[in-house]
């Protein structure tokens, strides 16, 4: 038998065994949509995810504000809390947990938004 005798056009159908896989499009953010600018340090996010309550949510809100303002010292505003569906009391407890874990340094003033410095998480050299 020659290779032409084995030719079966059904193999080349869109759902056949030799069909090309569908092209995957690169994930893109549409204009007017918000996003968290990366890269985000994996160790930092991993440590924040181990904390209780809304600590990770507050951390992501901080990284969002930081990426938008291109600064590591940011104000945790009510607008950012609203974007991440955080209530003030939950955000306060989450921010305290991040501070205890050594991921942020917080400066608080009565009646003002807390000013937060995002600290680099020390890498484990094991």
33 has which bridge partners? Answer: none
Residue 98 pLDDT: 95
What per-residue confidence (pLDDT) applies to 34? 76
Q: Quick check: 61 and 81 in contact, CB under 8 A?
A: yes
Element spanning 123, H or E: none
Q: Write down the pLDDT at residue 32.
A: 74
Between helix 55-69 and helix 42-49 the angle, nearest 10°, is 150
Report the half-sphere exposure of 120 (CA within 13 A, side-chain side).
Answer: 4
Ordered by where they begin, the domains of the chain are 42-118 (1.10.10)
- pLDDT given for residue 125 in this prediction: 46
Do the bridges between strand 73-75 and strand 115-118 make them parallel or antiparallel, or are there none, so unpaired? antiparallel
Q: For residue 75, give the H/E element and its range.
A: strand 73-75
Q: What is the mean pLDDT of each run of 10 residues along the chain (126 residues)?
A: 63 64 68 78 91 93 91 92 93 95 94 93 57
pLDDT of residue 15: 67
| Residue 126: predicted pLDDT | 44
Which tokens sit at 87?
């209530």
pLDDT of residue 31: 74
């Amino acid at each position: 038998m020659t290779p032409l005798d084995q030719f079966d056009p059904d193999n080349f159908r869109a759902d056949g065994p030799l069909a090309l896989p569908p092209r995957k499009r690169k994930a893109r953010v549409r204009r007017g949509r918000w996003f968290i600018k990366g890269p985000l340090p994996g160790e930092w996010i991993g440590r924040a995810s181990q904390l209780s309550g809304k600590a990770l949510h507050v951390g992501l809100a901080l990284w969002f504000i930081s990426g938008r303002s291109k600064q590591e010292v940011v104000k945790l505003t009510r607008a950012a809390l609203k974007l991440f569906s955080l209530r003030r009391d939950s955000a306060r407890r989450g921010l305290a947990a991040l501070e205890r874990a050594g991921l942020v340094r917080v400066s608080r003033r009565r009646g003002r938004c807390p000013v937060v410095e995002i600290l680099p998480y020390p890498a484990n050299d094991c």
